[in-house]
Amino acid sequence: MNPRNTVPCATCGTPADFFEKPLGPFCSVRCQMVDLGRWFSEDYRISEPLTADHFSEYEAWEGKALDQPD
Ligand SMILES: [Zn+2]
C-alpha cells in the first residue's frame, strides 16, 4: 500500500489505498454500499453519531467475494 495514496474510508475511516480498488474513497464494497444506502434513505439530513445499528442491515454483505471480486 502506497502511503501517498492512502485516504480514510468515507464510511468507517479505515485508511485504504485510493487507487488499489475502483471503490473511490471507500475501503470495501460494503462501505461503498453503506454510503449509497445513506443517500437513498436520506440519512444524511439527520445529524447523529454512527452506531453499529447503522451497519446491521449490511452484515449479510460481508464476504470475500464482495470485497475481492476477482
Ligand atoms: Zn470502510
Report pLDDT digits (tens) over 30-39: 998 888 887 7
Report pLDDT digits (tens) over 11-66: 899 988 877 777 778 888 899 888 888 777 766 565 667 787 877 777 776 665 56
pTM listed for this prediction: 0.47
For residues 25 and 15, give the distance between their C-alpha atoms in angstroms, rounded to a whole number. Answer: 9
Q: How far away, in angstroms, is 48 Cα from ligand 1 center?
A: 18
| Domain ranges for the chain | 3-67
Q: Name the band, by pLDDT with cuts 50, 70 and 90, for residue 68.
A: low
The C-alpha R_g of the chain, in whole angstroms, comes to: 13
What pLDDT score was predicted for residue 47?
A: 62
Q: How far away, in angstroms, is 23 Cα from ligand 1 center?
A: 10
Q: How far away, in angstroms, is 14 Cα from ligand 1 center?
A: 5
Q: Does domain 3-67 have CATH number 3.40.120.10?
A: no
